[in-house]
Structure 1
Amino acid sequence: MYKSRKAASLLLAGVMTVTLLAGCGSNGDKEKGNTTGAGAGAAANVNKEGFPIVNEKLTLTLMAPDIGIQNWNDMPVMDEMEKLTGIKFEYLNAPRDSFDTKKNLVFASGDYPNVLFGAKLTQAEELNYGGQGILIPLEDLIDEYAPNVKKLLEAYPDIRKSITAPDGHIYSLPRFDLNQPWYRNPLWYNGDFLKALDIKKIPETTEELYTYLKRVKEEDPNGNGQKDEIPLASSSKMRDLRTWILGAFGAYEEEIYVDDKDVVHYTPMEEPYKAYLEYMNRLWSEELLDHESFSQTDDQKKAKAKNNQVGLFSEWHAYFTLGGEPDTEDVLFSPVKSDMVAAPAIAKNRGYSTGAFAITSSNKAPEASMRWVDYLYSYDGAMLFDKGPEGTLWKYTDKASMTKEWLPVPGGGDREEYRSTLTPNYGIAAPMVISDDLTKGLKTEFDEWVAKENKEKLLDRGARVPFPALFLTAEESAEVTKLRSDLSTYVMQMEAKFITGQDSISGWDKYVGTIKKMGGERMAAIYQTAYDRWKTS
């Protein structure tokens, strides 16, 4: 029977309008390549241990993306950091959706903020602006002023390799996410449909998945007497489905991945991708895949799901799409396998994202800036940035064991919505470390269930990282950018044509020939060279 669901409560507020200041450097320093700040004077003002960080109060500028919910000047977390450290920031925010454009304009202007926070700097940007001296090297500062970062990089040497540029320098700090296995949002089964169809065991193969989708279409699991069910839906031109379905045929990623023998593959020209296209065309031709998947917005897909029409979909948690409260009846997808492979290829999250924090040449106090951000990589600092100050949304029940409990949300309402007003670690990749310690005592039964599902369906089944984040040389990066601009457009166009039947898969050999002419093999060769360099570094 149809189970009513309340609308999801988590809504983002409108994006605030923020003006970037013309002069980002608070001290007016326009020198390029300054990697030591004000020298001995700046360093002498810094305490290497304890708080405050500086003996004399310091004001710096910080540029970051903003999601438009709370003015950073009014965020309790940033107030706490100022009181604790003695460092005040002037915020040069830009809306998240247009941040990359603003970031590029600032780099081109010659007026740089002292630090970049949550900026998602690409490795090409780091190599470019680091080479110009706009971003300063961080490795010496890490050794001397960032014990928490240093400890993490020693514990995860592959991450240190991935954030080290070919010139040997580290130009940005990553965000560590040590407890999130998902490579992309997982897929979820509509629990109402599973119950209505009396399905006790979810699909394990592509054929069993096909059978489930067929039953959704034909057996009226929403019970309204109409054939309005949509077995499988996408809202991002297959991106939210592609990795999970590709895995059934042995490919870990949609573009570049490395196999167990350290061989790099350019996926769109290989047999697993062809099999994926054939399977998705089969679903399309039998109307098991939503025919609006290449055009609809995420909100449009969610509207169908909230109307109890969609059987399988991508989302962080199912109830974010279906509405209502967390529900263990909506079952996490277990990667399926085809006859081509003995087991599905399951892509695992890298455990970090690059480009989260950088210091520019305008910064007169890089030592203090490094100590400030290093606190976010400690347990206490991460706890502050992730959950807000103690006593607002949470409190310790046993600090020695890091055990905590939730407090009532001030004024009532949704906890996550309220948290978004406390901290900048909401909707952006803030530089910090996320670990299980942060949620000790705070996990709900639903959280524990999701963790168990992740372990059994992903981690215990050999999930691994498809390809490490790594630097290309400037020459490699330029060549890849040129190749990808044409290849990506062609591959996406042909994917849509093959899936929708506009072009027959019988034209596969011609398609592969075109990709080879456009440089598909060269893409694989460039990444193979980069991977081999990373592997031995």
Structure 2
Amino acid sequence: MKKWKVALTGLALSSVTLVILSGCGSKSTGATKVDSNTITLMAPDHSDVHPKNEDLWMWKQYKKMSGVNVKWETVKDWDQKKQLILSRKTLPDAFYQTGWSNDELVKYGTQGIFQPLEKLIPKYAPNLNKLMKEDPSIKKALTTPDGHIYGLPYTGSDPMGGGRAFKLYFNKKWLDKLNLKAPTNTEELEQVLTAFVTKDPNGNGKADEQGYYMDSDQFGPLELMVKSAFGLNSAGRTAMENNYYVDDNNKLQYVFSSDKMKEVWEYEAELYKKGLIAKTAFAGVDYDKWVADAGKDVVGLFSWVGRDFIGAEAMANYVPTTILNGPNGQKGSLVTQSPVMGTSAFVITKDAKDPKKLLKWVDYFYSEKGSEFGFYGKEGVTYEVKDGKKVYVDKILNYPKGAQLGAYQYVDNVYAGFFPYLEQPEANKEIAYGREPEVYTDAPLDNLPKQILPTFMSTPDESSQLSTITTDMNKYVEQARVKFVTGKWNIDDNWDQYISQLKKIGLDQWVKIRRQQYVRYQKN
């Protein structure tokens, strides 16, 4: 199952104390007792893989705990329907887990469709407020250029959690057979991949082994790791995915016009030329074929945020590398994201008569107990404690479609991501699913980027300018990547022409706007 947005979260609630937030502002992190009224929430429709929200065990339980009844409206094909929904005469009180973009938050907040929350949060969302004080980057990521907060975050403090950190996964059986160790730098990576494709490590007498091999839509994860090795991960994964990094002079730069990017593509082109990157890297293989091939033991290396992406049958065969260093002693760093993995997990609309009540209701899930409840559920019902660790009960672990979807029959914060809550550490989640946590031998938490930036908030004017430029540059870069890596374009011969075309599209204006945003973010 593809999991770009999967969030598996967790810990448990053995007992819950219901606390009424007083008018002077309680500091309690327990569940908040509010008036026994009904609130209306709109959320994505996942009823194809779990019970309807109103029938989900977690929401029935939280109704008893909070005294609040939720009238859920769920929507399929959200991205295609959200503009039509906004044209309704009356909106729901809030959007839950719907994933508005930063530009949409600014646009509809400015228009008065979404309510500003920054003045209410300190008093009516004390758990979230506590997180923002402990980590100021959370508030900075949520704050729009006009100083407002229109959406609440999907957040977590574990850099390895929430599908945030990419890794390289090497075939352990092949490493062992060839008496090799997982590589730590780009030179060793080339050596290991060469051995994989030339020394018959699967032992079938056929030259069917592939080096880096994934379905043809997934070249990006490998490139993120290589970018980090060549010094482009100075501001974290989100920055790289938004095509910028910060240089040694603290100046924002465009990734794909950098000389370092030229080195990245030169390196990837060499791997491709030698057959160490599968010839199907850009076309020809879908996800199902790739997983089937993994079951035949022909995949040497893939890159993802978790080993389970390659399928239950093969995942145990792979070991992770989290830090890839570059040539000549260049230090790499962990390819991870900001603690804020989504800025619009809970958005209160103009038609909500009592936003304070809504904040109280959702704020519980930003507490430790609320986070535990949202992932684990309740001891004796959805989980049990074994050797001091919380593990899902057998009816979840043995669910025919896997433990994750098993848990999704009871609790909400384990699938599809962008939940308004505090996510639990990745190791706890693995244990909950009955798995041993991944073991990292390269100290990822000691090798974080210099800073980890979120997606910047744009003003309406910035958004208007960036929209066309970014779309056109991204399209051109995608075409150029394929040509450079596959050798259709020569790096030395075609680089200046490539840069010239980026400038024609609008590179200089793009950089100017992004630098303004970076300066504004630093001042917040």
Q: Is the 8 A contact 1:265 1:524 kept in 2?
A: yes
Establish whether residue 91 from structure 1 lines up as the match of residue 79 from structure 2: no
Match of 2:57 among 76, 79, 95: 76
Report the CA distance between 1:265 and its aligned residue: 1.3
Q: Deviations over 1:385-405 (max 9, x none)?
A: 11223322324579xxx9645
Q: Is the 8 A contact 1:394 1:407 kept in 2?
A: yes
State the alpha-carbon separation in 1 of the partners of residues 398 and 252 from structure 2.
52
Q: State the partner residue of 2:152.
A: 173
Q: State the partner residue of 1:483.
A: 469
Q: State the partner residue of 1:243.
A: 224
Q: Is the 8 A contact 1:75 1:423 kept in 2?
A: yes
Q: State the partner residue of 2:346.
A: 357
Mapping 1:117-516, distance limit 5 Å: 117-181=96-160, 183-199=164-180, 201-235=181-215, 236-252=217-233, 253=240, 255-295=243-283, 296-324=285-313, 327=316, 330-339=318-327, 342-353=330-341, 354-395=343-384, 404-409=390-395, 412-413=398-399, 414-425=402-413, 426-436=415-425, 439=428, 442=431, 447-450=436-439, 452-453=440-441, 456-505=442-491, 506-516=493-503
Q: State the partner residue of 1:16.
A: none
Structure 2 stretches lacking a partner, 5+ long: 4-21, 234-239
Greater relative contact order (Cα < 8 A, sep 6+): 2
Q: Deviations over 1:81-111 (max 9, x none)?
A: 112222222222223xx32222232124454
Secondary structure at 2:394's aligned position in 1?
A: coil
TM-score (norm 2): 0.85
State the alpha-carbon separation in 1 of the partners of residues 166 and 336 from structure 2.
11
**Sequence identity (%):** 27
Residue identity opposite 2:185 in structure 1: T
Of 212-221 and 515-524, more deviation after overlay is shown by 515-524
Q: State the partner residue of 1:103.
A: 82
TM-score (norm 1): 0.83
Structure 1's 276 and 334: CA in aligned 2 closer, same or farther, altered over 3 A?
Answer: same
Report the CA distance between 1:194 and its aligned residue: 0.6
Secondary structure at 1:479's aligned position in 2?
A: helix
Q: State the partner residue of 1:27.
A: none
Q: Is the 8 A contact 1:73 1:91 kept in 2?
A: yes
Structure 1's 211 and 440: CA in aligned 2 closer, same or farther, altered over 3 A?
Answer: closer
Structure 1's 304 and 107: CA in aligned 2 closer, same or farther, altered over 3 A?
Answer: same
Structure 1's 195 and 67: CA in aligned 2 closer, same or farther, altered over 3 A?
Answer: farther
Secondary structure at 1:66's aligned position in 2?
A: coil
Q: Deviations over 1:127-163 (max 9, x none)?
A: 0000011100111221221110111111111210111
Report the CA distance between 1:274 and its aligned residue: 0.9
Structure 1's 217 and 185: CA in aligned 2 closer, same or farther, altered over 3 A?
Answer: same
Q: Deviations over 1:304-360 (max 9, x none)?
A: 222110101023433441533864x62212433333663124432212222111100
Residue identity opposite 2:212 in structure 1: L
CA RMSD of aligned residues (A): 2.9
Report the CA distance between 1:419 and its aligned residue: 0.3
Q: Deviations over 1:14-35 (max 9, x none)?
A: xxxxxxxxxxxxxxxxxxxxxx
Structure 1 stretches lacking a partner, 5+ long: 1-9, 13-42
Q: Deviations over 1:396-435 (max 9, x none)?
A: 579xxx9645433369434322101112212221110023
State the alpha-carbon separation in 2 of the partners of residues 411 and 535 from structure 1.
45
Structure 1's 229 and 67: CA in aligned 2 closer, same or farther, altered over 3 A?
Answer: farther
Structure 1's 397 and 466: CA in aligned 2 closer, same or farther, altered over 3 A?
Answer: closer
State the alpha-carbon separation in 1 of the partners of residues 120 and 229 from structure 2.
45
Establish whether residue 526 from structure 1 lines up as the match of residue 513 from structure 2: yes
State the alpha-carbon separation in 2 of the partners of residues 111 and 239 from structure 1.
41
State the alpha-carbon separation in 1 of the partners of residues 417 and 322 from structure 2.
28
